[in-house]
């Protein structure tokens, strides 16, 4: 087993102040929990009230990079006043595109979104690594090659070094078929990027890419949090189902309809820094989100984690 990561020296990733140590919870804990808002809201107070009606204590960023500094501040202040954490700003784009213009646009988009995350005080700005193929989030044989790894490192460094965030982090979401697709590949990326503002985004469903990982996702979750927990800034909540047909076929499903070990997931996340949010995603309706939230909160009650 690779030893846990340690400081890479002054200015390096592991030198960031405030990285918490992990300790097992000995009593009931409260976890930040959130998801999308389906209501149409016109101002920060209406946004906060919509979140409260859903029982959320974490939220996706409610504004885009075009928002004025005053508007950004108003939403930040409203969230802080209501005890709501702004979990993440999405920067979804293809940093590995073989098309130079597309890659340049992706880099600029990520810089704008990371700047927005820093302006509003979000916990992170998140993207995926991207793909060398025609589908920006799809599989391609070149996406796990050494030159793709090097391009990911170069891209992340460029984004962080241009923006130089002081209040937020840039993170890559774990994925089934592109970097980082495992604990080991995430550790390797963190060491190679070696930037204070590069952190971890955790989505265990996106690490389940085989029957072995499907049936043993609890240990997978435990090891990931044990090794990288102090650097996790935000997490996603969904589920995965192994179909009973050939070839191996895994579907993303609503939490509660698949095989993700949510008891382990919530226990492990409860060990993290208290502001770490768990965010629902990828459902189609408000009703589906309500069912997903009910399921996760029910598991939380069973394991002593209030959502």
| Res 12 pLDDT > 80 | no
Residues 48 and 50: their CA atoms lie apart, in Å, by 5
Closest CA to 199 of 153, 159, 162, 168: 168
CB contact at 8 A, 269 and 224 = no
Structure tokens at 245: 């047909």
Cis check for the bond before 247: say yes or no (omega within 30 of 0). Answer: yes
pLDDT of amino acid 13: 38
Q: Do strands 250-253 and 239-242 pair parallel, antiparallel, or not at all (unpaired)? A: antiparallel
- Reported as a single tens digit per residue, the pLDDT across 46-75 is 999 999 999 999 999 999 999 999 999 999
Mean pLDDT throughout 231-248?
A: 95
Task: Collapse the DSSP code of 232 into the 3-class scheme (helix H, G, I; strand E, B; otherwise coil) and give the result.
Answer: strand
Structure tokens at 155: 């891209």
Residue % of the chain over a pLDDT of 70: 91
**Residue 185 pLDDT more than 80?**
yes
Helices (H), 58-126: 69-81, 100-120
Question: Is residue 235 helix, strand or coil?
Answer: strand
Calpha distance 91→98 (Å, rounded): 18
Q: What is the CATH number of the domain that holds 218?
A: 3.20.20.150
Give one DSSP letter per residue of 29-66, joined into a string. Answer: EE-EEE----S---SHHHHHHHHHHHT-SEEE--S-TT
- Does residue 73 lie in a domain region? yes
The pLDDT tens digits for 206-228 are: 999 999 999 999 999 999 999 99
Report how many domains make up the chain. Answer: 1
285: pLDDT strictly greater than 50? yes
Q: Could you give the angle at the alpha carbon of 286 between the alpha carbons of 285 and 287, nearest 5°? A: 90
Q: pLDDT, tens digit, for every residue of 137-160?
A: 989 999 999 999 999 999 999 999
Q: Tell me the average pLDDT across 100-127.
A: 98
Q: Please say whether the dihedral angle defined by the alpha carbons of residues 198, 201, 204 and 206, taken in this order, is positive or negative.
A: negative
What is the residue whose two structure tokens read 């809201």?
A: 41
Q: Determine, yes or no, domain membership for 5.
A: no
Any domain includes 12: no
Residue 88 has pLDDT above 90, yes or no: yes
Neighbours of 267 (CB within 10 A): 22
DSSP 304: T
Q: Does the pLDDT at position 25 exceed 90?
A: no
Q: How many residues does the chain have?
A: 307
Within-domain flag for 242: yes
pLDDT value of position 159: 98
Q: Is residue 278 part of a domain?
A: yes
Let me know if residue 15 belongs to a domain.
Answer: no
**Mean pLDDT over all residues of the chain?**
92
Which residues, in sequence order, are CB contacts of 236 under 8 Å at separation 6+?
A: 173, 201, 202, 203, 205, 206, 278, 279, 280, 281
Q: For 256, phi and psi rounded to 5 degrees?
A: 105, -15
- Quickly count: other Cβ atoms within 10 Å of residue 290's Cβ: 15
Ramachandran category for residue 55: left, alpha or beta (phi over 0 → left; psi -120 to 50 → alpha): left
Q: If you average pLDDT over residues 123-149, what whole number do you get?
A: 94
In a domain, 103, yes or no: yes
pLDDT score of 27: 61
Between 11 and 247, whose confidence is greater? 247
pLDDT tier for residue 28 given thresholds of 50, 70 and 90: confident
Print the domain residue range for 172: 24-306
Give domain status of residue 120, yes or no.
yes
pLDDT value for 196? 97
């Amino acid at each position: 087993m690779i030893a846990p990561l340690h400081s890479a020296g002054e200015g390096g990733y592991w030198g960031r102040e405030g990285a918490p140590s992990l300790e097992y919870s000995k009593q009931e804990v409260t976890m930040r929990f959130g998801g999308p808002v389906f209501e149409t809201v016109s101002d920060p107070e209406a946004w906060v009230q919509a979140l409260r009606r859903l029982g959320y204590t974490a939220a996706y960023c409610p504004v885009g990079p075009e928002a004025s500094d005053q508007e950004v501040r108003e939403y930040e202040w409203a969230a802080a006043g209501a005890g709501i954490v702004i979990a993440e700003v999405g920067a979804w784009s293809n940093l590995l595109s073989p098309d130079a213009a597309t890659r340049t646009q992706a880099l600029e988009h990520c810089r704008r979104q990371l700047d927005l995350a820093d302006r509003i005080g979000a916990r992170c700005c998140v993207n995926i690594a991207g793909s060398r193929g025609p589908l920006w989030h799809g599989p391609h044989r070149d996406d796990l090659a050494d030159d793709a790894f090097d391009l990911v490192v170069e891209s992340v460094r460029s984004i962080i070094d241009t923006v130089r965030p002081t209040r937020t982090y840039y993170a890559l979401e774990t994925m089934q078929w592109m970097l980082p697709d495992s604990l080991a590949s995430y550790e390797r990326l963190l060491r190679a990027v070696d930037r204070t503002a590069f952190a971890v985004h955790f989505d265990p469903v996106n690490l389940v890419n085989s029957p072995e990982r499907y049936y043993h996702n609890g240990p997978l979750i435990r090891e990931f949090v044990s090794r990288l927990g102090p650097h996790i800034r935000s997490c996603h909540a969904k589920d995965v189902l192994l179909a009973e047909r050939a070839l191996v076929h895994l579907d993303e499903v609503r939490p509660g309809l698949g095989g993700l070990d949510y008891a382990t997931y919530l226990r492990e996340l409860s060990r993290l820094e208290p502001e770490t949010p768990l965010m629902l995603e990828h459902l189609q309706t408000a009703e589906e989100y309500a069912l997903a939230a009910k399921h996760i909160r029910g598991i939380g009650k069973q394991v002593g984690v209030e959502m």
